[in-house]
Amino acid sequence: MFDCLQCNRNVTEVLAKFKLVLLVTDDSTEEAKFLIFDNIAYPFLNKTADELAEEVAEDDDSVLPRTLNDLIGKTLLFKMGVTSKNLKSRKSTFIVDKVTDDEAIIE
């Protein structure tokens, strides 16, 4: 049970959610940070926050879940919004609207 500090109620049901911050690189030295919320990530990961949490070893929570580790080296296509902050700073984070690994769409 959790206490909500805003409404002063006891919360008995909690829905676990996650966000991913990916460091995306190309074949050169360019890189960017992409932020993906769970509702965008779920369709291509096919895992809920609870299922991803189960993949984390209890004795070493620094180990990347297998589902996320499998993304390393994979070619993905991202659709994202670009803000003025993204254009001004090379170190900003892009928020992803859609992602796919469908080769027919990527080509």
Write down the pTM of the prediction.
0.76
Tell me if residue 19 falls in helix, strand or coil. strand
User: Averaged in consecutive runs of 10 residues, what is the pLDDT profile of the chain (107 residues)?
Assistant: 84 87 82 92 88 77 81 88 85 90 89
- The residue assigned the tokens 């080509």 is 107
Tell me if residue 107 falls in helix, strand or coil. coil
Name the pairing type of β-strands 31-37 and 19-25: antiparallel
Tell me if residue 5 falls in helix, strand or coil. coil
Residue 59 has a pLDDT of: 62
Residue 61 has a pLDDT of: 64
Residue 65 near residue 88 (C-beta atoms within 8 A): no
Burial class (CB in 10 A: 0-12, 13-18, 19+), 37: middle
